[in-house]
Structure 1
Amino acid sequence: MRQGSAELVSVLSGSFERELSVHVFAGSDRVLEGLRFESWQLSSDLGRAICGQGSGVVVHPSLDGGSLVPVGTSGALSPFRARVEPVMTVRAGSFEESVSLGVFRVVAVPSAEDFTVEQDGREVVVSSRVGLKFDSLEADVERWGFRFPESSPAAASAFDEIRRFTNMPVEETVPDVVLPSLKTWEAKQGGRLEAVMELGRVLGGQAVVNSRGAWVIVPDVIGAPVATLRLGELGTVLNVADEIDTDTVYNEVVGSFEDAAGNPLYSVASVSSGPLSVDGPYLRNTRYYSSDLVKTQAQADSAVRAVLDQSIGSQQYDVQIQCHVNPLVEIGDVVELSGWKRPLVGRLTTVSMSDSAYMNVTLRVDRELS
């Protein structure tokens, strides 16, 4: 969750105005600040390897006749060098507070133009409009390939390996684990990011870069809520919907692995009693699982049992919500939905904001199965 004051949390539940501007960075240096940003949108999705993607138009009046239109690698907004930090400012009466939405890599300039006037026989730039497309910082790791296959030794710390592979800050949001066996990561396009994603799965979740620019693990298990979305005239939730889907409720898991010598390992776990029993009316719904980090029979048995327990313990389904813009929440946050026909607690898996007064989010909720 992004940082904000208690007063801001209170203001966001009522009527407020908001405005978006951007700061521009070259490396760690802020070269421009508070630029007006129009026609913008920013979407984040846990289902994407590069979770955050956005676009918008910088509008900049020139005081000295200079242009902001980039030319190749030159210019503060060149996609060869620029990072942008969208900042949302919320106002209500005398209250004002700004929230950083994160830092993003500029990946393209789809449009750019200068507006000029003739002055003393020459054209002078009076303003620039520059369109930008930008990605969250997972893109830096995707672009940075392995030069040759990299090995993670057995008993290496998963978090230490993420630090080594990304050279970025890491916040340990789940307990660290050691890798059960030697792992060699392939040198290929996007291979470094794939390695980080797999290490996230080993840690029991999904690896993403948060709004503070640090790698975190969004855990599979839904914890306590950190924010509330409310219904009502001045609330935040305008529309919700949910559905039941049994296709992903598996009552049998078949594991196929190899030991350190390349010999096959097999393990099966199934539900033997209750409404989800393989001998009951639900019948069998089989999932197949494999992992090259499993090298012993004990690890195989533990792995398939964990996958089965996760399936029968809960079924996740998505609730689509349209709500007033809240700059504090981000993907991975656990939020509570109150004031609906039943209370819901779930994880935000998508968040889409724009220059509209509303945003759309997806809340992934666990439905307990008895």
Structure 2
Amino acid sequence: MRQIDDLDVFMSPGRELRLRVDVLRGGIRVSDDVAPGGFTADSMTVSWDLDGEVKQIADVEITYSDTYGRSLIPSEFQSLLGPWGNELDLTLEAHLGGRIAAVPVGQLMITAVPEATDGSGKYWLMGWEIVTGSVLTVRAKSQDERVRRRGFAEHKLQPINTSAWDELGRLTGLPLARNVPDVSCPKLEYERAQGNRLVQAQAVSAALGGVGVVDAYGVWTIVPDLIGTPVGVIDATVIDAPFAIDSENVYNEVIGNFEDADRNPIVVPPARITSGPLAVNGPYGTYSRFYASEFVTTKAAAQSALAKILRQVSQPTFERRFTAQLDPRVEIGDTWTLRTSDTETTGLIVALEWKGDVMVGTLRFQESINA
């Protein structure tokens, strides 16, 4: 959860939201506020998705003009908004009666300019082409996109650090927020394949007990994948909150693939649900999950591991997709209680979108239907 000093400014019905857009190149700020006073919150759509490959994506609509009649269309590698190493540093501001509150949105790398035009207001003055304004849509993604794009070139295609956190630092090249206890780095086989560095960084993050996410300051942190104690209540501002449920990833059988210390297979029966609505011989049928771990080297440990994994993966997942007034404290990975006129639901924020004055989020929660 973001900590906001002047939360009352953001949550007041009379506040005006404004987007500040700074441009960075190589970590150096090359433009302070591309269009001062020119952006409202409607100028951006920012989304976060805990299940996405890259966790944050922003589309920013920029309308630009200056006294020199210059175009902002990125036609060269050194263009201010070109997708060749430039970054957007986005800040959301709330203005209310002379007071200003600000919250960081993210330091995002520009990946594309889907649309750019200089409009119809062009003319020539003393041999120079003058434009009255440029209109662009700029797409930017969080720093895990850099990790995704960078491949493995070295010959040693496996972890070189015993510490999971140290290996994450090597894989991502990003600053780390070591917010969960360190563990031994898992045995992994890295591949010379597109996007595999990010896949492996998430595998190491999973060993730490969660999902790797780059925060608003460009720091890699771990979001634990368990529903915790709620950090707050989303209530009076809720506009809509329908329910949804999906059977995908609700398993009733876990099959193990283990070896002992001598690399011999450990043979144990699958862990199965045999009674209730999710019984393998019932109407739901059999939905198998395969599980392997190099840390399991005995038959007793294998049976215990399969039973534990079955308990985790056999819980139906429910979701509520809510629309509410934008509250900048809410982040993916937070546990919040969603309160409507007739229900209260506590769960994990797994997706979030800011658009204008509202936020649309997905709250995921679980209920056991097993005996």
Q: TM-score range by the shorter chain?
A: 0.7 to 0.9
Q: 2:158 aligns with which of 151, 159, 165?
A: 151
Q: 1:269 aligns with which of 271, 274, 299?
A: 271
Residue 189 (structure 2) pairs with residue 171 (structure 1): no
Q: For residues 129 and 84 of structure 1, what CA distance do their matches in structure 2 show? A: 16
Q: For residues 335 and 54 of structure 1, what CA distance do their matches in structure 2 show? A: 24
Q: Which residue does the alignment assign to 1:241?
A: 242
1:71 alignment partner, SS class: coil
- Superposition deviation, residue 131 in structure 1: 2.3
| Contact 2:209–2:225 (8 Å) recurs in 1 | yes
Residue 76 (structure 2) pairs with residue 69 (structure 1): no
Residues 122 and 276 of structure 1: CA distance in aligned 2, closer, same or farther (over 3 Å): closer
Residues 243 and 79 of structure 1: CA distance in aligned 2, closer, same or farther (over 3 Å): closer
| Contact 1:26–1:81 (8 Å) recurs in 2 | yes
Q: For residues 25 and 258 of structure 2, what CA distance do their matches in structure 1 show? A: 47
Q: For residues 231 and 135 of structure 2, what CA distance do their matches in structure 1 show? A: 38
Q: Which residue does the alignment assign to 1:24?
A: 23
| Contact 1:332–1:347 (8 Å) recurs in 2 | yes
Residues 73 and 303 of structure 1: CA distance in aligned 2, closer, same or farther (over 3 Å): farther
1:23-42 correspondence to structure 2 within 5 Å: 23-35=22-34, 36-37=38-39, 39-42=43-46
Q: For residues 357 and 219 of structure 2, what CA distance do their matches in structure 1 show? A: 28
| Contact 1:294–1:300 (8 Å) recurs in 2 | no
- Superposition deviation, residue 164 in structure 1: 1.0
- Superposition deviation, residue 269 in structure 1: 3.2
Give the TM-score normalised by structure 2. Answer: 0.85
Q: Which residue does the alignment assign to 1:324?
A: 325
1:100 alignment partner, SS class: strand
Aligned partner of 1:50: which letter? V
Q: For residues 336 and 310 of structure 2, what CA distance do their matches in structure 1 show? A: 26
How many residues in Structure 1 have an aligned counterpart in Structure 2? 360
- Superposition deviation, residue 151 in structure 1: 1.8
Q: For residues 323 and 85 of structure 2, what CA distance do their matches in structure 1 show? A: 35
Q: 2:166 aligns with which of 152, 157, 160?
A: 160
Residues 9 and 40 of structure 1: CA distance in aligned 2, closer, same or farther (over 3 Å): same
Q: Which residue does the alignment assign to 1:305?
A: 307
Aligned partner of 1:202: which letter? A
Residue 46 (structure 2) pairs with residue 46 (structure 1): no
Residues 348 and 228 of structure 1: CA distance in aligned 2, closer, same or farther (over 3 Å): same
- Superposition deviation, residue 226 in structure 1: 2.4
1:254 alignment partner, SS class: strand
Q: For residues 67 and 61 of structure 1, what CA distance do their matches in structure 2 show? A: 8
Give the TM-score normalised by structure 1. Answer: 0.85
- Superposition deviation, residue 106 in structure 1: 0.6
Q: For residues 213 and 238 of structure 1, what CA distance do their matches in structure 2 show? A: 32
Residues 66 and 247 of structure 1: CA distance in aligned 2, closer, same or farther (over 3 Å): closer
Q: Which moved more, 1:110-119 or 1:213-222?
A: 110-119
Residues 277 and 288 of structure 1: CA distance in aligned 2, closer, same or farther (over 3 Å): closer
Q: For residues 361 and 44 of structure 1, what CA distance do their matches in structure 2 show? A: 9
Residue 214 (structure 2) pairs with residue 209 (structure 1): yes
- Superposition deviation, residue 368 in structure 1: 4.5
Q: For residues 94 and 253 of structure 2, what CA distance do their matches in structure 1 show? A: 50
| Contact 2:347–2:364 (8 Å) recurs in 1 | yes
Q: Which moved more, 1:109-118 or 1:91-100?
A: 109-118
User: For residues 290-320 of structure 1, what are the alpha-carbon distances to aligned partners after superposition, in whole Å with 9 as ceiling and x for unaligned?
Assistant: 23544513653443233123245x5431111
Structure having the higher strand fraction is 1
Q: Which residue does the alignment assign to 2:358?
A: 358
Aligned partner of 2:352: which letter? V
Q: For residues 94 and 65 of structure 1, what CA distance do their matches in structure 2 show? A: 32
Q: For residues 64 and 247 of structure 1, what CA distance do their matches in structure 2 show? A: 56
Gaps of 5+ in 1: none
- Superposition deviation, residue 116 in structure 1: 3.8
- Superposition deviation, residue 70 in structure 1: 1.8
Residues 73 and 340 of structure 1: CA distance in aligned 2, closer, same or farther (over 3 Å): same
- Superposition deviation, residue 162 in structure 1: 0.6
- Superposition deviation, residue 357 in structure 1: 2.6
Q: For residues 226 and 98 of structure 1, what CA distance do their matches in structure 2 show? A: 21
Q: For residues 66 and 149 of structure 2, what CA distance do their matches in structure 1 show? A: 34
User: For residues 181-232 of structure 1, what are the alpha-carbon distances to aligned partners after superposition, in whole Å with 9 as ceiling and x for unaligned?
Assistant: x4331222111111011112222221121222111222121112223211xx
Gaps of 5+ in 2: none
1:183 alignment partner, SS class: coil
1:108 alignment partner, SS class: strand
Q: Which residue does the alignment assign to 1:255?
A: 256
Q: For residues 51 and 344 of structure 2, what CA distance do their matches in structure 1 show? A: 25
1:103 alignment partner, SS class: strand
- Superposition deviation, residue 130 in structure 1: 2.6
1:151 alignment partner, SS class: coil
Aligned partner of 1:136: which letter? S
Q: For residues 362 and 250 of structure 2, what CA distance do their matches in structure 1 show? A: 20
Q: Which residue does the alignment assign to 2:129?
A: 123
Aligned partner of 1:335: which letter? W
| Contact 2:110–2:140 (8 Å) recurs in 1 | yes
